[in-house]
Structures are given as structure tokens and as C-alpha cells.
Amino acid sequence: MTQTLTLRRPDDWHLHLRDGAMLQGVLPETARHFARAIIMPNLVPPVVTGAQAAAYRDRILAALPEGMAFEPLMTLYLTEGTDPADVAAAHASGLVKAVKLYPAGATTNSHGGVRDLAKVTPVLEKMAEIGLPLCLHGEVTTPEVDIFDREAVFIDTVLDPLRRRIPELRVVMEHITTEEGVAYARAGGDRLGATITTHHLIINRNHILVGGIKPHYYCLPVAKREKHRLALRQAATSGEGRFFLGTDSAPHVDALKEHACGCAGCFTATNTMQLLAHVFEEEGALDRLEAFASLNGPRFYGLPANESTITLTKGAPAQWPAKIFTEAGPVTVFDPGFPVHWHVEG
């Protein structure tokens, strides 16, 4: 039985760091284990231009504790007023690695997102021309569509028509949560990738609702039926290059999670690698964890894999803080609800 596992240092291909005091508090939790991360641009106001992305990157690096190494990979928030020339210049400079499309109203701070895809077609065509990936929050927001069906409907009515219209566009289906998402990613060819979160490998919708509402398990896209969780686990542990880790680790202070209208998001930056080792061991796939966490993402984004390594060891039950205390307020760390015996040694 494997007791020690060494792999190239992982990257997180979907991360929320927020800004200000929250950024200061949560950045070390990611930088401790991850070399790089795709940084989400849904601040208030959002990161729309190359200049704003450069300024945000400077704030992230200024918040990095001395002695830690971490590279933020910046993204732009796509709006119906986004300038294709600015996007191209930001990409050419090496600063911006992707553009993020939020359907308006889909999740946290997405009210400025896209309502009419036709209005952003010039940007998407420019991105296809220069090879800049589009990261998609893949849910429709029309109120008549059930929240548990919004990903599958998005694939059929938005994503597939978009990819047929602009076939050269590189697309990342972020945080897929359904067997339909897995199937579409598998059939999508080399220009389509899909990230899977840590928490969607562990929880289904029962965890949120059975025995009382559990706000720290509430996320968007919302966790689905058990059959979907099992499909995600099979995809993540398959070793297939189209699937890679994007934690969607999303810090909110407890007062806004434990609220009459609580925020969506699970904070998993602290313990993701331990949880993934547990999941991959359960699936008999520890030898494929490096592909999922460290190799497939860089390959899709055209970046080299990290040269440095981390080592996980199995032993006594792991412990991590229940909360991260920031100057913005306490943030609850995701609790898987079962003992985990894996530790990250460095």
C-alpha cells in the first residue's frame, strides 16, 4: 500500500483570491502547495482591462508572504463592452492567460456578465485567432430552468452552438458537475478542456440539504445527484488529459455564508491536496493524481509543468484549522466529513 507519493508541484486552474484583507488572509493557503493559479476576475469592480489585470497581479504579489513562491495567472472578465484589441494586447504581453465568461447573474459578482453572446462575438473571434482560452461558467440563468438542470441546458443551448460557430476557440468548461458535462468534454476534441473541483468529488446535494441546510457546502454550480458525483470521480481519476484541477476555492466570511441569503462557495485551498489524495486512493488511482493536479492543466494552457515537487505521506489522521482568520473575518475551511490520513510534506 502506497504510504508516500511525490509529484510535480500542482497548479490550480480556477481560484478566487478576492482583494484587500481577504486576499492577504487566503493567499498563503494556496501558495503553500500550488505553484500557479488561474485567478478569477470577478472583483467589485471586475477586472475588465489589461491595465486592471496588471494592477491586480501587483496586489497579489505584494500580499505574498516572504519566502513563498507563487505565480498568479491573470484573466479578464468578459463584458459586452470588452475591447478585442485590449484583450489581444494583454495576451501578447504575457500577462493574461484566459478570458472568463460569466452569464449575467450566474454566481458571485456576475451581474456585469454577458447577456447576449452576439455582442461579444468579435472578442471571441479574436481570442480564437490568437489562441487565448475562454473559461466558461457553464450555466444558463433563465428562471424557468431548474437549478439542477442549468449546466446540461447550457451545454445544449449555449456551449455547443458557440463552439460550432467558432470552432477554433479554445474553451475550458469550468467546474463541471454533471455526467452530461463529462460526456460533452470527452467528445469535444483537443480544443476543449474541463476543470473539476475538489468539493464536487466529495459532496452531492444531500450534503447540503439532509438534516438541515449546510451553508458551507452550498456552491455554484450546486452539487448534484450522486450519479453525477460518481461520474466526476471517474473522469478526474481517469488520467485523461482533458480533465484537470480547478478548485474554485471561494472564500466568504462566515457572516455572509451563514446568512438568510448565503453566498455560494466552498473554501478548499487549505486541504485540497490531502483530500484529492484520499479520493484518488479510494478510486485506486493514486498514480494518476499527478496528471490531474500537475500535468494536464499546463499542457492545455501551453505552459511547462512545474519542476519543483511536493510529497504526500500517509499516517495519522490529518488536522487542519477549522477556520482561516482574516482581517475581513473568519473563513470556514471545507470539511469533508470523514477522516483524511494524507499529509503534504512540502
Query: Which among 24, 6, 74, 12 has a CA at the least distance from the CA of 329?
Result: 24
- What secondary structure letter does DSSP report for 133? -
Q: Which residue has the cell 491586480?
A: 56
- Phi, psi of 23, rounded to the nearest 5 degrees: -55, -45
Dihedral of the alpha carbons of 52, 53, 59, 63, in degrees to the nearest 10:
160
The three cell numbers of residue 57 are 497581479
CA distance 77 to 278: 34
pLDDT of residue 110: 63
Query: Which among 179, 169, 135, 128 has a CA at the least distance from the CA of 14?
Result: 135
Count other C-beta atoms under 10 Å from residue 167's C-beta.
Answer: 10
The three cell numbers of residue 49 are 482591462
DSSP letter for each residue of 43-84: -SS---SHHHHHHHHHHHHHHSPTT---EEEEEEE--TT--H
State the catalytic residue, choosing from 58, 248, 254, 335.
248
Paired sense of beta strands 309-314 and 243-245, if any: unpaired
pLDDT of residue 112: 74
pLDDT of residue 105: 67
The size of the chain, in residues, is 346
Q: Which residue has the cell 463552439?
A: 163
CATH number, span 4-344: 3.20.20.140
Query: Which among 140, 182, 132 has a CA at the least distance from the CA of 161?
Result: 140
CA distance 262 to 148: 18
pLDDT of residue 120: 95
Query: Any catalytic annotation for residue 149?
Result: no
Q: What is the pLDDT of residues 274-315, one digit of tens each?
A: 999 999 999 999 999 999 999 999 999 999 999 999 999 999
Domain ranges in the chain are 4-344
Helix (H) or strand (E) segment spanning residue 183: helix 179-186
- Phi, psi of 131, rounded to the nearest 5 degrees: 80, 25
* Cα end-to-end span (Å), the chain: 21
Count other C-beta atoms under 10 Å from residue 204's C-beta.
Answer: 20
The three cell numbers of residue 213 are 441546510
Partners of 37 in beta bridges: 12, 72
CA distance 176 to 235: 10
Q: Judging by beta carbons within 10 Å of its beta carbon (0-12, 13-18, 19+), is residue 133 exposed, middle or buried?
A: buried
Helix (H) or strand (E) segment spanning residue 21: helix 20-31
Run means of pLDDT, 10 residues per run, the chain, 346 residues? 92 98 98 98 96 98 97 97 97 98 73 85 98 96 95 96 97 98 97 98 98 97 98 98 98 97 97 98 98 98 98 97 98 98 92
